[in-house]
Amino acid sequence: MANQVQYRYDSLPVTDIDKISLPKYQRGLVWNKKKKQDFIQTLHEGFPFGTFLVYEDSNDEGVKEYILIDGQQRLSTLKQYLDDKFGYWRDLNSERFLSCLNAVSEIIDVPDFSENVFIDILNKEDCYYELQKIARAKGNYEKASEQMDDLYRICKEIKHEANQYVDTKHLKLPVIVFNGNKSDLPKVFANLNKGGTPLNKYEIWGAAWVTNTINLPRNLDLCDEILDEVKTYYDQKQDSSEFEIIGLSTDELYEQRSINLSELGFALGRVIQKKLPSLGGNTEALANELGFGVLGIATGVHNKELEKLAEEKNFQKINNELPDILQKVKEVCHTLSRVFNPLLLVKKASESSNEYATGLNATYKTLSYFSALWSLKPGTQNYIDTTGNIPKYYLYHALLGIWGGHGDQTLYKYYPGEKTAKSDYLTALDENELFNALITRVNQTEPCINFTGDVKAIVTIHANLTYLAADLHQGEDFELEHIIAKKHIDAAEQNQNSRQIKGGVIGNCMWLPKNLNLRKKDKNLHEVNESDQKKYSYLLEGSRYSTVDDFSQIEKYLKDECYEQLNDFISNREVCIMEDLVDALYKKKSSQE
């Protein structure tokens, strides 16, 4: 049996436009100037236009109001037009406008009379009087007074044409009023937008959750950071002209400390990104995934069902337990940053420009660390063991591709609480399992020349645990470099579209100080000057760098096109790197020591 219809068609006069509440957070994609003008032209021609989807609600005084769910661009454009009819009329009737501007400029004898000044004057009730004042101020009133009838006629004609350009007196706004369950709004919004620009789930929630208000406590620093991120988000959107935010007051935001559920999810993700830059990334998409993902962990809502965060039970849990949730986020970020920031850091001269090797990162994987630590108390043995095991699993899971495909299902196994299929990081990963996974990767590498993100990440972890572990590099920028110079490999290979040499693998890759690399060019480290050799001896000793004899053999392999033997040589160094990496992760002495 079909469900009962949960909506009605209606219309509102333009005079009721303020009864529709325009949410602050809806979509990042907005109309440009051309699209706005096209919409006003449609209204001018009396053609039909798209409906507004609204949800009927009542304010605190019981007065009926409508919350806009879809149609932000049309509504905001119409509001802009009502506030600036002359500006739109000018743009859509440029020849007529310039003709009037030139005529007025000549009458009042002001050659540099600008378009914007003229528009400002036309927006005033008595523009005729304003133009007279300008003529007096310029000492041209006597000349202008001779043509006052023409001046009056021009002003009257322009005001009439602009005011009548859109028949707002009879214009009706077509609306669909949804009167079903508020929890169904995300589904309604998604279905309504299937034919247009695809929306991601966060945009859908952003539009549907505008009335799910979160009250931020005043005594938590993290709440202030959340507010800062909300403010920054809207400031950036306004600065980039992506959209205008109606009714947003910074003072009011900090005074009332009320945001909606969608804003909380995004802002929480931004806070996590700043506190955990090595795993958090810096994009809006990742911020949403992290923030909403953590809220899912806190409420026990499965990651693939995060729309349920707005359900009464889960929403109230977030509101009531927000201080505890934020405190746990702060604890976990602190713990994970101490593990991963030094592990994935790309060495730079300045800490203000920190960069991290993120090629092994995955959002579900990061969220699994939050899940595993969420119910554990810092300082307990379980917390310590879990934290110590996570970096090994970080590498191991990347090698096995654990977090691809159905990552949300895998993540749920790490959620706190009892489950049929439960996973955690309490059990130590056997070092032989990790080493075997690394060797499998070595054996599966194909000829290439460029370094991929996962190569960069593994080389970075190895470097930070071995030859760059000491502070000898301070004050220098480092960059990833081929041990067998790319120039030599390119020169040896006849067909660079079909590579035969494994030049872009871990076995032929290391971090070098940028200045040294510039001086070295296509040489190896044994061929640089004596001063550099002495200064950077730690690079040779700790990186499994090839010997002088090795490079002589490499040169012969390249010359004789013995690519299979050369690849074996590169792979052998890669195996040594993997041995040292595992030893360092398990805090054993390197086989070189």
Print pLDDT tens along the chain (593 aa). Answer: 567 888 899 999 998 888 887 655 444 446 778 889 999 999 999 999 988 888 887 766 767 788 887 888 888 889 889 988 888 988 999 898 888 888 877 777 776 677 888 888 777 777 767 777 776 766 665 665 667 777 778 888 888 898 899 999 899 999 999 888 876 776 777 676 665 555 677 776 776 676 788 999 988 889 999 999 998 988 777 665 444 454 566 778 888 898 999 999 999 999 999 999 999 999 999 999 999 999 999 999 999 999 899 999 999 999 999 999 999 999 999 999 999 999 999 987 666 678 999 999 999 999 999 999 999 999 999 999 999 999 999 999 999 999 987 889 999 999 998 766 789 999 999 999 999 999 999 999 999 999 999 999 999 999 999 999 876 556 788 999 999 999 999 999 888 889 999 999 999 999 998 888 888 888 888 888 888 888 888 888 889 999 999 999 999 999 999 999 999 999 999 999 999 999 999 985 443 33
Among 189, 201, 125, which residue's Cα sits nearest to residue 163?
A: 125
Strands 172-178 and 52-58 turn out to be: parallel
pLDDT tens-place string over residues 213-247: 899 998 888 999 999 999 898 877 766 544 445 45
Question: Could you count the other beta carbons within 10 Å of the beta carbon of residue 282?
Answer: 12
Question: Could you count the other beta carbons within 10 Å of the beta carbon of residue 371?
Answer: 26
214 by DSSP, 3-state: which? Answer: strand
Integer angstrom CA distances of residue 16 from 50, 275, 347: 17, 45, 59
Task: Give 435-468 as a DSSP string.
Answer: HHHHHHHHHH---BSSPPHHHHHHHHHHHHHTTT
Q: Which residues contact 242 (CB under 8 A, 6 or more apart)?
A: 28, 30
pLDDT of residue 593: 38
Please enumerate, as own/partner, the contacts of 54-59 that have beta carbons within 8 Å and a separation of 24 or more. 54/20, 54/175, 54/176, 54/177, 54/178, 55/177, 55/178, 55/182, 55/185, 55/211, 56/177, 56/178, 56/179, 57/211
